[in-house]
Structure 1
């Protein structure tokens, strides 16, 4: 039996703890301010609105001194394992056009975001989502976020079925129970939701963790103060690291017997990406193995871990409030002892696992019941229409015609499943017509890349990310081609600030925004995301991208071991050797007029046409552009 009465808040807490306590379990001031004829919420309203799945933002491209900001709202869905039924997707598609900025965005936590919603349209938007069996409750804020799971919809591999099932169950267990969400957004109407697992209901309503004196607490897991900071979970299977298992607060790894029957779970705890520049007390951290738990006890163990973080996490300094800092400050041994004390029994030894591999599930696959699933890349997760690239139109047509469930992947792509083999050709034809690349057409560097939204909507962004990563990747590919590494690829992740939303600290090459057009360079993460990268360079201006990376790639080409990947090479040789080589390296000269520093902007539509042409010709985009311009100027001259 889990034993953990909710402890009173410490005497010294942050201002936000008071806002949470006074919110009447997430009701106020959102309910009141939603009725006011304003374009934005107060600071307290902004903080509580996050628990409802929304961030107040403004379009920073439209800021004008002396004028009110261009306020708008981002909505993020809570959909465990990335699951989106067809009726919900079509609702999101329509809402993006009616109230949003005509785009959706697949996130790195397997959910959809909508951008550009005005305050006056928030309630109508959320009501439509809820009535379509969707939810945004708990997608943001100081509580458990969207629970991740492998997006592969295998029906004949029991471990994958269990991973999806328990991702749903853990999400239900840790969902806020306050009635405020439905009171505010659908006027208290009883929402139609899927029936919860009775074991989950019993685990949540158990006496453990309740506030003393309350017979039936509003929030039996969280109490009035909720968590000190956001809390992230994943459920996966041995060997499948599509979920970035080591970056989560808690990862459960399904353990089955030889007959495929569920026995229990390995447990990892203490991962987290967020950090702050020039604050050495903040850092990225990978999770530790903490033990194994039988399936009958898994909900109690998850509660015990949540209670430990809830009661002992830092509620004064939010920069130190994630569970990774609690484990770092206490030490893993003390953390496990405290969890076991709350859990009521010792954890069993962590079971041996196979080597982790990264999977993105692009392409066509058998799902094990006679039907198919299809994964296709959406660069940076942005679902939109632009010129010949018609991602939004393609998904709308497919969902209207074939009514397929989908799962968003942790790498911001989409998996459609339950596809009748007889429909394969028609579905592929829609994607081809709408300019969506087939698996074999996707450049591996693009395939392995991720970027956060950053400017213009993220209030934390220091510099660009999503809008410029296509150009950055093209420049990296051109540089590799120049050095005779045309077929080389590795994991590149880019963020506009150090908070790490695209998990750059696990990348082989991470670019983390540090100033306008400038980035920290992180190197040495593993290809399968099991090792942290480290800071190689504090600030790289984009104008110096090639001259900074060229020595690293040249050294890699010269001294790599057989089959060695770039991240593994950087980790093996060490940063002293990388810097020493870079200091004495003499750049190889390009044909023509020397180093290519001049850049010309082009539209997304032309960029995508250029990319397809370059891939078809087996050339870099830079080579195709230079040849076309040279030919054009020669004709005109």
Structure 2
């Protein structure tokens, strides 16, 4: 009989944590250090926080025998990315008073705060709570922020998807109460009955879990990068019929470890709207019960499905549901970018989609966007909507308010934010250095410079208005979804990147490794002849990712698997 594998260390931490309490309360009260223990660092992720340090200062502080410059990253849970002007103003105020004076809009439609020191952590969370915001389960081995298309006022279907995002998020929240006790000073309820997590149990999930909802033809949430996605299906009158269900997507991998890899989701069936929350819960339960708890590099749902097959997963899910998913319905994605500029809906209300470079809302002399958005929030009576591409929509602007808002947009030089090259408008970068402990190279601080160099080439080639998705991450964990980009850069070491080409423009195909360890200074030279060839030799309507495969720059297959399929054909039979 083979010896049973030992569980990963995090599994024992969860078991012994008393439902995510651990030693957090005591360690956060300890002012002798700016950090917390490794175990507490794992536990605080479940409450939306990561302990980090400023890596730009590490060497200097080590030389002076000082501890690292510790601070905390905080992720705010915002299902669907929708916030009110009051909430925007509060987050702006918090970022100025407790963080590093910036708001980061993430690729999961949430706010991130950086630079929050330990002594201000509880206060920060309490200030968020005043406007009904929280960071519960924004990280950790649980379901994280639920994404959806950010334009609910453009159709009835969009509004229904936002509601579904909220319903799923609330349904899948941990129920143990640790967050409210530790950070909001609520008294623990004393009871003889043991605390029970009705969905997660004592050990929660084997690893993080991500959910998204897409409304075709836009794949702005990148359904193939998520553990679970719902793809809205509408009739000819744009009435919502239900959702196709996709499972097993994920971006993370580890350099040099072939057993780790990005994976496209499988589309396994269709469900009516009334059953969508139930399906989300049961997918979680299957992963809870069958996911790998011995190796965290092999613990995402994508590996559970690859180890057992998508057919097995569908059969098991149907057993957990007590009914079968229906056959997959037809749909089509054409893009995964944001639709910038002004838009008017059938009610006569306006929506303005703005480009936010790197998702970083911060003032600069040339572009005082943070102050401008603050002033807009003071008069705006609609919403702000964060997109899955790190951008922002000022939504539901009345005809009466539009002139006032346009005046502020002009005053603070925001109005032309979306009038950039299409290459820049379709860019994403993760935070990377100096705060992310996993980063091997720069991303957010460097990609704008790379794009500036490449813009010289696209301008020369007449491609300024041709959208090409370009993404950069500092490490292979894939937070910026680089493996779905037409051009992807993944940090390999200081100023060195693995370059990937050939992703699907609509996010329906993984890209392929084109060249390893490319120095940043060589990126323009490596890409110039390919971009020039694309401009001269592309077929009508052909996207860059499709061209590099047709032209032979990268293969159409990887390890015998065809990645050049249309997403509609990658379906598991019901």
The TM-score with structure 2 as length reference comes to: 0.91
Moved more, 230-239 or 361-370: 361-370
Q: 1:59 to 1:251 in 2, by over 3 A?
A: same
Q: 1:349 to 1:556 in 2, by over 3 A?
A: same
Q: 1:11 to 1:520 in 2, by over 3 A?
A: closer
Match of 1:71 in 2: 70
Distance 1:530 1:215 in 2: 48
Aligned pair 1:412/2:390, yes or no? Answer: yes
Distance 1:416 1:489 in 2: 23
Per-residue CA shift, 1:468-505, capped at 9, x if unaligned? Answer: 11110011111233455455441110011111111111
Match of 2:156 in 1: 158
- Kept in 2: contact 1:77–1:111 (CA 8 A): yes
- Kept in 1: contact 2:216–2:231 (CA 8 A): yes
The match for 2:37 among 24, 27, 42 is 42
Distance 1:381 1:373 in 2: 19
Per-residue CA shift, 1:606-636, capped at 9, x if unaligned? Answer: xxxxxxxxxxxxxxxxxxxxxxxxxxxxxxx
Match of 2:8 in 1: 14
1:258-407 map, 5 Å: 261-407=239-385
Per-residue CA shift, 1:342-377, capped at 9, x if unaligned? Answer: 222222111111344334132111233332111111
Moved more, 254-263 or 142-151: 254-263
Match of 2:54 in 1: 59
TM-aligned CA deviation for residue 439 of structure 1: 5.9
TM-aligned CA deviation for residue 216 of structure 1: 7.8
TM-aligned CA deviation for residue 555 of structure 1: 2.6
Match of 1:445 in 2: 423
TM-aligned CA deviation for residue 574 of structure 1: 2.8
Distance 1:137 1:364 in 2: 34
Match of 1:170 in 2: 168
Distance 1:546 1:440 in 2: 24
Match of 2:126 in 1: 127
Match of 2:443 in 1: 465
Distance 2:94 2:549 in 1: 46
Secondary structure of 1:441's aligned partner: coil
Q: 1:217 to 1:350 in 2, by over 3 A?
A: farther
Distance 1:299 1:404 in 2: 28
TM-aligned CA deviation for residue 23 of structure 1: 1.0
Distance 1:236 1:560 in 2: 29
Secondary structure of 2:73's aligned partner: strand
Aligned pair 1:142/2:110, yes or no? Answer: no
Match of 2:25 in 1: 31
Match of 1:427 in 2: 405
TM-aligned CA deviation for residue 554 of structure 1: 2.8
TM-aligned CA deviation for residue 328 of structure 1: 1.0
1:578-617 map, 5 Å: none
Match of 1:94 in 2: 93
Secondary structure of 2:342's aligned partner: strand
TM-aligned CA deviation for residue 299 of structure 1: 2.4
Match of 1:235 in 2: 213
Q: 1:535 to 1:576 in 2, by over 3 A?
A: closer
Match of 1:534 in 2: 512
Distance 2:198 2:555 in 1: 54
TM-aligned CA deviation for residue 138 of structure 1: 0.7
Secondary structure of 2:407's aligned partner: helix
TM-aligned CA deviation for residue 294 of structure 1: 2.5
TM-aligned CA deviation for residue 402 of structure 1: 2.4
Per-residue CA shift, 1:246-290, capped at 9, x if unaligned? Answer: 111111122344565544321011100011111111111111111
TM-aligned CA deviation for residue 339 of structure 1: 1.2
Distance 1:19 1:430 in 2: 50
Moved more, 113-122 or 299-308: 299-308
Task: Please report the RMSD computed on the Cα atoms of aligned residues, expressed in angstroms.
Answer: 2.0
TM-aligned CA deviation for residue 460 of structure 1: 0.4
Instruction: Determine which structure has more spread, i.e. the larger CA radius of gyration.
Output: 1
Distance 2:221 2:463 in 1: 29
Moved more, 283-292 or 214-223: 214-223
Secondary structure of 1:283's aligned partner: coil
The TM-score with structure 1 as length reference comes to: 0.82
Match of 2:559 in 1: none
- Kept in 2: contact 1:160–1:236 (CA 8 A): no
- Kept in 1: contact 2:211–2:228 (CA 8 A): yes
1:202-221 map, 5 Å: 218-221=196-199
Q: 1:577 to 1:15 in 2, by over 3 A?
A: closer
TM-aligned CA deviation for residue 571 of structure 1: 2.1
- Kept in 1: contact 2:153–2:396 (CA 8 A): no
> Which blocks of at least 5 consecutive residues in structure 1 are unaligned?
1-9, 191-213, 579-637
Q: 1:216 to 1:267 in 2, by over 3 A?
A: farther
Q: 1:552 to 1:577 in 2, by over 3 A?
A: farther
- Kept in 1: contact 2:105–2:112 (CA 8 A): yes
Match of 1:620 in 2: none
TM-aligned CA deviation for residue 575 of structure 1: 3.1
Q: 1:387 to 1:136 in 2, by over 3 A?
A: same
Distance 2:369 2:418 in 1: 18
Distance 1:402 1:72 in 2: 33
Match of 1:116 in 2: 115
Match of 1:198 in 2: none
- Kept in 2: contact 1:356–1:530 (CA 8 A): no
Q: 1:119 to 1:532 in 2, by over 3 A?
A: same
Match of 2:562 in 1: none
Match of 2:538 in 1: 560
TM-aligned CA deviation for residue 298 of structure 1: 2.3
Distance 1:484 1:131 in 2: 51
> Which blocks of at least 5 consecutive residues in structure 2 are unaligned?
557-574
